[in-house]
Amino acid sequence: MTGVAVLGAGGIIARAIVRDLADSPEVDRLLLLDIDGERAAQVAAEHGGGRARAVGVDARNGFATALAGCGVLVNAASYRVNLVAMEAALAAGCDYLDLGGLYWMTARQLELHDRFAAAGRLAVLGMGSSPGKTNVMAVYGARILGLRHGLGAGHGGVRELGGEPVREINVAAAGRDPEPTDLLRTPYALQTLVDELSMNPVVLDGGKPRELAPMAPGGLVRFPEPIGEVMTIHTLHSELQTFGTSFGVQRASFRLALAPELLRRLEALRDAAAREVAAAQAAAAPPSARAVSAHVVEVLAAGGRRVRVSALTQPMEDWGMGGGIVSTAAPAAALVRLLARGRIAATGVHPPETCVDPDDLFPELERRGCRFEVTA
């Protein structure tokens, strides 16, 4: 692979992606793109391992020419520029991946499938922790139960494996900082979190999307220790846009567990003006280097059998980064390595569950502080 471009390189998650890729022998060089060129240059100096250079770009004005010589564009910027970034990747002849489209954007991105397929290129939508790792955990759960799933089927259809269909998939995510503080800390971009809490969540019910009220109660979910059993809420998430097609599932949900104080602060920002949210983001403290991140995916068969796949990501101490950041960054960096090794042959636009094999992804994440457990 000649090179990898990272868009939004000065952001919270991007710095961990850059550090991960800088430690990857599959990557020759890194091009760090950000509207704030100085911030991208700082990430290059601190985490680029001598193989990164930074360029200031405004993604909204087009940046395809900046991608010359790059084989993959990793979009770690706001989901609002996902379509523009995909157009740039097509124009430059790059593969593409991002960290999610917050459900509605994902639907618009899927419409570019034929254009990416015709170009012989791949776009993977939502290759972070959730969406991303959780989508592949759902494949693993379905495989354990011998259920039908979309891996290897191509975009738009469930692979016919025989056996029972998937009846239900429930995804839950949580993060905790062992050292609470009065400072506002968010696991990823504050504006994205506020959007997730403000928009109507979507669940699948009878195979069809159904909207809930913002922050609808999700009940108790048992996460791996040290988080344990905590209350959750429903939030809008990309998995619900693709699970119906990928698995033929009838019911599906996504639930989020945030620390109570953080949830209260975010709720207070839901109705705030954009400038107030931007000011809060600017004043927020960096994510804790001691935070942990947990995900649980439960897959149920029509006959009542079920499997629970959980993941716990610990901090990467030698990187000085907490599990919340690493949990989202590591799947994106892993996908770049798998592409370089020829482990993913798909073209077109795909969610992770139709093109990423758990047997390939999980060992990569285990080397980045993630521990998986399965309970049938």
Separation between Cα atoms, residue 234 and residue 229, nearest integer Å: 16
One-letter amino acid identity for 66?
A: A
Backbone dihedral angles phi then psi of residue 112, each to the nearest 5 degrees: -90, 10
Pair of tokens at residue 251 = 């019911």
Burial of 174 per CB tally in 10 Å (0-12, 13-18, 19+): buried
pLDDT, residue 177, reads 83
| Model pLDDT for residues 327-348, shown as the tens digit of each residue | 999 999 999 999 999 999 899 9
| Model pLDDT for residues 22-54, shown as the tens digit of each residue | 999 999 999 999 999 999 999 999 999 999 999
pTM for the complete prediction? 0.93
CA separation, residue 347 to residues 58, 103, 153, 194 (Å): 28, 21, 12, 33
* Adjacent-strand bridge partners of 7: 33, 75
- Fold of domain 4-98: Rossmann fold (3.40.50)
pLDDT, residue 108, reads 97
Tell me if 251 sits within 8 A of 205, measured CB to CB: yes
Where is 31: in which H helix or E strand?
strand 30-34
| Model pLDDT for residues 209-268, shown as the tens digit of each residue | 999 999 999 999 999 999 999 999 999 999 999 999 999 999 999 999 988 887 787 777
Domain locations in the chain? Answer: 4-98, 133-323+370-375
Tell me if 75 sits within 8 A of 81, measured CB to CB: yes
- 3-class secondary structure, 272: coil
State in Å, rounded, how far the first CA of the chain is from the last one: 40
Pair of tokens at residue 324 = 């919340």
pLDDT, residue 59, reads 87
| Model pLDDT for residues 155-199, shown as the tens digit of each residue | 655 555 556 789 999 999 999 887 666 667 776 677 777 788 888
| Model pLDDT for residues 101-129, shown as the tens digit of each residue | 999 999 999 999 999 999 999 999 999 99
Q: Which CATH superfamily is domain 133-323+370-375 in?
A: Dihydrodipicolinate Reductase; domain 2 (3.30.360.10)
